[in-house]
Structure formats: C-alpha cells, structure tokens
Amino acid sequence: MSKTIQQTPNTTISRLAKRASYDVQTIHTILDESLVCQLAFIRDQIPVSIPTGFVRINDEIYIHGSVGSSYMRQLATGQDTVCISVTHLDGLVLARSAFHHSVNYRSVVVFSKAQLVTNKTELYQALELFTEKVQPGRWAEIRKPTENEWKATMVLKFKIEEASAKIRTGPPKDDEEDYNLSVWAGIVPLKTIREEAIPDPALKQGVEKPGYLL
Amino acid sequence: MSKTIQQTPNTTISRLAKRASYDVQTIHTILDESLVCQLAFIRDQIPVSIPTGFVRINDEIYIHGSVGSSYMRQLATGQDTVCISVTHLDGLVLARSAFHHSVNYRSVVVFSKAQLVTNKTELYQALELFTEKVQPGRWAEIRKPTENEWKATMVLKFKIEEASAKIRTGPPKDDEEDYNLSVWAGIVPLKTIREEAIPDPALKQGVEKPGYLL
C-alpha cells in the first residue's frame, strides 16, 4: 500500500468526503503538474492569497521571492501557518439538472510554516529544479545567478506534512428520475497547452530555437 | 478615461508596482475569464484557501455552496474579510539569465465581506448566469432547480470595492550585458482549450450533442 499523510482537523474534508485523498503520491503528482500555487497567509488580521511559482522537492515546497518582498520577510520568521493550494480544472460536468452541474478537478491544500533556506547547495538545487520544471532542458544553457542576484533572492521551503487532495472525475451524477430526460449530458475536458514559442524581438541574430522547444 | 477602483493599503501593490492595475474593466475581464477562484478566509486563526466556482454580475462576485458547508455558514455572517483571487498563466518567459525567468500572467485580488443572497429573483439570475458562464447555451435546456434544491443551496455575494489586478505581458527583460549571449530567449504561450465533449455513458438514446458543443 502506498504512503498516506496523517489527517488533522485542518485537512479532514467533511464536504463530499469521498473525493478526499491523503495519498502522498497523489498529492505530489497534483503539485508537480502546476507551475504556480496560491499562497495564503494572514496579514494584519486579514487573509491574503497570492499566486507564486514553486517547485516540490521530496516532501517540501520551495518558493523563490525577492528579499524586498514584505510577505517573504514575514513568512521567513517561521511563525505563520500558511495555506498553499493548487487546483487543476480538468473538465466541465454538464448534468441534466442545473443542480448537478459541476467540474472535474484535482486540488491540493497544504498547511505549513516556512523555513528560510540558507544552504548554498540547497539554494542552487531549488533554483535549478524550479527552472527545469518551468522548461525542461533550460538550465544547462542559461546564465547562472551571480552573487548579487543570490543576495537579492529569498528562498523559503514548506514541509508537506499536513495536506490533503480533493478530486472529482467522471460523468455527471444526476437524480435517478432525471436520466430519462431528453437533455444531453456529459463532460467537456479542459486542457492547458503550450503553444509555439515566440522569440524575443531582441534575440541575438543567429541564435536558433533549442530542441526542447520544437 | 475608464473607471478605476480606489486603492487601499490592502490593495496597493508595492512589488513591481508598474504591473498593477486598478481599472474596473480590466479587473472584470480577468475575473470573467476564469471559471473558478480561490477563496481565502481565516478559520481558527489559520488561513484557508479553497477553489470554488463563481460568476461576476455587475460589481459583485456570486458564489454558490451547500447550506451544509461550514465555511459558507461562517462567511454568511458577513463578519469575515475574505480574499478572492483569480490567476491566468498566459506564458512562460524564458530569459537569458536564470534570474530573469518569469511568467506572463493576469491576476486579480479582491478583499470583501459576504452578503447572504435571499431574494428569489437574484438567486435565480445568479444561478442562470453562472451556468451560462460555464457553458453558454446550457440554461435553456436543463432541468431547473426544485424548491428542495434551492433550500440546499446557499448563495453569497461579495462587492468588488477593494480590488487590484497585476499583469505581466511581453518578452523577457534581461540585463543589458546579457543581450549579447548566444542563449535563445522568448516566450512560450500557454492556453486552456476545451476538447471535444464526451457523452455520459448513461445518456438517453437518441439525444444528440447540442449545437453549442460542436
């Protein structure tokens, strides 16, 4: 049997509990398919939720930011519980009744506190894996960070210890008596695609599009 | 000149402020292009962020939920400031340096308090417009809610008074000296597409795919 995460009051899903999953592999896969997460925290007694890039390495989520960012500095203290969430919208669920219209989705919610990353090897690896997640093949050819750029960068990591996934798949579920209605029902799959890469107008002459973009 | 929203300390963007917009039309368009938002609120002193469907009508965001949902009941009191956010990831920005890698995006953040919707005409309109947003043409042919279904549904609305957008577009911005590197740079556009609709295996025989899905 695969590894599961211990449920806590924060992560126990009460609504539509059959859609919940605490399977570690499921949680990791949903996280890895998303380039950005929503990072929610409390600032002056108010919830704030912002999108930010991230990469998962083992059982930790790494987020890069600027040392000038006030929320990065706040979270770096390690005092704040944050809520990191990722949602994939996989399809529209068109039921026979308005009430049973829904969407197919895979989402993950993680509650955690930040740890400031200061180890150089770990910083380097997090940036490399983040860049390779955004575009596989990219790291080998780009200019690596200078000392000054490292000084301007803050990296936080969040342990994935308190987390849950929620998933809906499959066709609509209508009320028994509605299956006889002459209303079309089914799903409309949604998909995010990468379109053809567009060169920077300032691209140096003679530089060809790399193989990983073809 | 188009209408803008008054900035507040919560919505004043300090990092990369040139990417900020307080234009009402811009904010509405970003909201309308997204089927789901992230709804962040505070529960037991902890931030919680969950994905949920929504529809914007004029300057209000409508969210449907179950009367059995604990967070809907909490927010219905109108006491909690929530943070509603929407993010579109429009492209990968591949710069010559690791440091200037970025993404093109359009995001909106709204701070607001819920109002419970009880007026029947308003409830009906919110559900109709929400369904038509998910799939234009759908409302006319589906079975409308029964009295019992309405009793099981809670609708909250949130005024869009305190809000901001943040937008990045265009090619990478590299350091002056890096433009001479022989590294390919440009953007990879991302797009969400609707694939061909898949009929429910339990679809009544003879029911054809409606024109709006072809």
With an 8 Å Cβ cutoff, are B188 and A153 in contact?
Answer: no
How many CB atoms are located within 10 Å of the residue A51 CB?
21
Q: What is the pLDDT of residue A155?
A: 98
Q: Any idea of the CA torsion for A170, A175, A178, A180, to the nearest 10 degrees?
A: 70
Which CATH code fits B17-92+102-172?
A: 2.30.110.10
Tally A–B CB contacts below 8 A. Answer: 273
What is the sign, positive or negative, of the torsion defined by CA atoms of B99, B100, B103, B107? positive
pLDDT for B2: 74
Per-residue pLDDT reduced to its tens digit, B115-143? 999 999 999 999 999 999 999 999 999 99
Nearest CA in chain B to A35: B89
Q: In the prediction, which pLDDT does A1 show?
A: 53
**Residues of chain A contacting B90 with CB distance shorter than 8 Å:** none
CB contact under 8 A, A49 and B49: yes
Q: Give the three-state DSSP class for B24.
A: helix
Closest chain B residue to A86 measured between Cα atoms? Answer: B51
CB-based contact B192 A191, cutoff 8 Å? yes
pLDDT mean over B60-76: 96
Show residues of chain B in contact with A153, CB under 8 Å.
Answer: 99
Q: Which of B83, B139, B153 sits opposite A48 (nearest CB)?
A: B83
Q: What is the pLDDT of residue B12?
A: 82
The whole-angstrom separation of Cα B171 and Cα A39 is 26
Residue in A66, A187, A195 nearest the CB of B15: A66
Q: Give the closest-approach CA distance of A196 to chain B in angstroms.
A: 6
B204/A194 touch (CB, cutoff 8 Å), yes or no: no
pLDDT in tens, A20-74: 899 999 999 999 999 999 999 999 999 999 999 999 999 999 999 999 999 999 9
Render A39-87 in DSSP notation, one character per residue: EEEEETTEEEEEEEE-EEETTEEEEEEETT-HHHHHHHTS--EEEEEEE
pLDDT band at B1 (very low <50, low <70, confident <90, very high): low
Residues of chain B with Cβ-Cβ distance to A95 below 8 Å are 142
From chain A, pick out residues whose CB is under 8 angstroms from the CB of B198.
171, 186-189
Show the tokens assigned to B213.
């899905």
For chain B, give the mean pLDDT: 95
Burial class of residue B3, CB neighbours in 10 A (0-12, 13-18, 19+)? exposed
Question: Do the chains contact at A87 and B38, CB–CB below 8 Å?
Answer: yes
pTM score:
0.94
Please state, in angstroms and rounded to a whole number, the distance separating the CA atoms of residues B144 and A178: 11
For residue A55, the chain B residues in CB contact (below 8 A) are: none
Region B167-180: mean pLDDT is: 97
pLDDT of residue A88: 96
Distance from CA of A1 to the nearest CA of B (A): 29
Instruction: Flag if A184 and B208 touch (Cβ within 8 Å).
Output: yes
Cα separations in angstroms, B144 against A127, B117, B130, B139, B197: 51, 18, 13, 8, 22
Task: List the single residue in A45, A184, A199 with the smallest CB-CB distance to B207.
Answer: A184
Cβ A15–B95 below 8 Å, yes or no?
no
- B17 pLDDT above the threshold of 80: no
Inter-chain touch B143–A96, beta carbons under 8 Å: yes
A85:B181 CB<8 A:
no
User: pLDDT confidence of B14, banded at 50, 70, 90?
Assistant: confident
Q: What is the pLDDT of residue B11?
A: 83
What are the residue ranges spanned by the domains of chain B? 17-92+102-172
Residue B7 has pLDDT above 90, yes or no: no
What is the pLDDT, as a whole number, of residue A18? Answer: 81
B85–A203 CB contact, under 8 Å: no
How far apart CA A190 and CA A169 sit, in angstroms, is 12
Nearest CB among A48, A103, A186 relative to B35 is that of: A103
B46–A206: do the CB atoms touch at under 8 Å? Answer: no
ipTM, interface predicted TM-score of the complex: 0.93
User: Which whole number is the average pLDDT over B167-196?
Assistant: 97
Collect all residues of chain A within an 8 Å Cβ-Cβ radius of residue B82. Answer: 47
Residue of chain A whose alpha carbon sits nearest to that of B35? A89
Interchain contact, A35 vs B89, CB within 8 Å: yes
Taking alpha carbons only, the member of B171, B174, B213, B166 closest to residue B194 is: B213
CB A32 within 8 A of CB A190: no
Instruction: Specify whether the CB–CB gap between B54 and B62 falls below 8 A.
Output: yes
Which regions of chain A are under pLDDT 50? none
Which positions in chain A touch B141 (Cβ < 8 Å)? 183-184
CATH topology of domain A17-173+180-189: Pnp Oxidase; Chain A (2.30.110)
What pLDDT score does A11 carry? 82
Separation between Cα atoms, residue A4 and residue A138, nearest integer Å: 33
